[in-house]
Chains A and B, each alone.
Chain A
Amino acid sequence: MKRDVAKMYSLPLQIHYCKKCTISNQRPRITFDAEGVCSACNYAEYKRTKVDWTGRERELVELCDRHRRNDGGYDVVVPVSGGKDGGFVAHQLKYKYGMNPLTVTWAPLLPTDIGRANLHNFIQSGFDSILGTPNGKATRTLTRLAFLYLGDPFQPFIYGQTNFPLKMAVQHGIKLIMYGENGEVEYGGDMKNAFKPTREIQDHDKHYFSGLPPEFWLQHGVGAQDIAPFLPPPYEQVVKNQTEIHFLGYYKFWDPQENFYYCSENTGFVPNTERSEGTYSKYASLDDRVDGFHYYLAFIKFGIGRTTSDTAHEIRDSKITREEGMALVKRYDGEFPKKYFHEFLAYCGIDEKTYHDTIDSWRADHIWARKNDEWSLRHAIWNE
């Protein structure tokens, strides 16, 4: 069954690329200015030239002062995976700003050895940690459903990743949750949060769950007890707890590459032994064997694969030029995640044909052309 991808995600039918980076207007919610520059590039410029970072750090200190506890209790929840970004947030808060973080991890669907090792190293470097792991059987069912109906096997993980820290905050009576960067703002999306440090719980469904909260799957035969671990705490409890969600990227200049150096030094982080499929990097998003399929589906739906996303933000961060970015996109973007393919099929309980039929049902006509039995992008960036 063919999907109307353009309509579902409100995608413009005329594809164009940002003049400064490699992102296209197919990224949901991204906007472009009159000069053809994307909101993420404009934000990067603003961040580098306009923000008073000394003043912002003062705001952070005030925030910490307001929440800091001296009775041994936790005063901030930091969601971490064991990677460089959460590691940076937790380590700074604890060892620079004197907070007592409870670090919270939502288990990957299919954890990698390197991801587990990095989480272990992180905990050993001085942190209390809670790992939330949902029932594997129910998670597999949700993953299959999410892949088949939503075209994103990662959705169950995202539910947990988004909701579990909130639940832990409420359960432990911790008011403050500190994330790293605000992806909507840093990577292109809804800019309403660009100029404030917090985010609203109400945005969860819209920005992270493609409008389909965990309850949606009840109609597909999943039990209430199966989705329970993925649900947020009741809204009244979030309010009663006076929960605040903040982004460190508002208070401190956010540079993922520098987080890598920081965590190598401070939290025992090690990069992968080889680059991740679909991109050139070996230090980001490496803890889940299902990762590659999440990025691959984004490539199918929007023509935006992992290399496009990685190069776009590295261009904004002045790590690479647009020319290098385009060359990298041409070389790596949309590479099929073959390393864990059969494992993924077995995990979801689907066969190869179902997989490919599902993938192809998400190819929009304005993005993809079929020529000589092969799919190709109608408007690849290196042809523009």
Chain B
Amino acid sequence: MAKVRLIARLDIKGSNLIKGMNLEGLRVIGSPQAYAERYYREGIDELVFMDIVASLYGRNSIREVVSWTARHVFVPLTVGGGIRSVDDATDILRAGADKIAINTAAIKRPSLIAEMARRFGSQCMVLSIEAKRTTPGRWEAYTDNGRERTGLDVVEWAKEGSRLGAGEILLTSVDQEGTRKGFDLELLQAVSLAVPVPVIASGGMGSTVHLEQAIRIGRADAVAMADVLHYGRLSISQVREAARASGIQVRQP
């Protein structure tokens, strides 16, 4: 079994790291650079940056943050938000990102996933899905930071995305995000069992027990954390220790 990756997720708006609850009520937390560097020093395995206003401005304001981070932080960096084309992706990769996460543009034009995979390789193409529970056992894909419905079924979309060449799925539960009440385990399991590619659990981490559940019940391959880290509720070493204590394989610090 591959080692479970611990990922810090930083949602970024303009020059600020922000944090919401159910992707709403976005609080300004601080400088994304400072937080990224701190998580790197404390031993995070990977980072995810999400520029959540990129589509609003129709441009990537995150480029500077990415290039600074690439010079100071040496773990894989996934960048998402407002990337609409192979050209946009090229720009962000040149700035120093290792992987690109795409949500809205892939929903509008699924063939973009294949174009990305052909050009940069599947390992670089992360399909980001914002999933909102509709009825028991069903989820709808959302865009615009959990604000716009698409009518797409999440499990079907995940299958389609991986078939087209997405190398990884970043799966965010809008219902659980920012609540610290645990991941949507049913959602994780439904998607993890449906696709052959790794699934990153995102949204709901409030304690180390939730991580264990996401791996064992949800079958996730990696866990993204935001709230618990940004507010200092858990340290990365605490998370790593607890994971190891429960028999989950994680990278040695």
Interface residues of A (CB under 8 A from B): 257, 260-261, 264, 270-271, 273-275, 280-283, 318-321, 323-324, 327-328, 331
Contacts and interface: CB of A to CB of B under 8 A. Distances in A.
B14 interface: yes
B53 interface: yes
Interface stretch (B24-32, B86-94, B119-127): B24-32
B56 A257 contact: no
Contact of A264 (B26, B142, B179): B179
Given A273-B132, A327-B56, A327-B57, A257 B25 contact: yes
Instruction: Report whether over half of chain B's contact residues are helix, strand or loop; otherwise say mixed.
Output: strand
A260 B21 contact: yes
A324 B53 contact: yes
Nearest to A274: B149
A324 B14 contact: yes
Given A260-B21, A282-B147, A318 B28 contact: yes
Interface string B23-61: 011111000000000000000000000000100110000
Contacts of B132: 273
B147 A260 contact: no
A227 B142 CA distance: 44
Contacts of B28: 318-319
Given A257-B25, A260-B25, A283-B24, A321 B148 contact: no
Contacts of B142: 274
A320 B52 CA distance: 13
A324 B147 contact: no
28 contacts: A257-B25, A257-B27, A260-B21, A260-B24, A260-B25, A261-B25, A264-B179, A270-B22, A271-B25, A273-B132, A273-B149, A274-B142, A274-B147, A274-B148, A274-B149, A275-B144, A275-B148, A281-B24, A282-B24, A282-B147, A283-B24, A319-B28, A320-B13, A321-B14, A324-B56, A327-B56, A327-B57, A331-B56
Interface in B154-209: 179
Highest count of chain B CB atoms <10 Å: which of A273, A282, A321, A323: A273
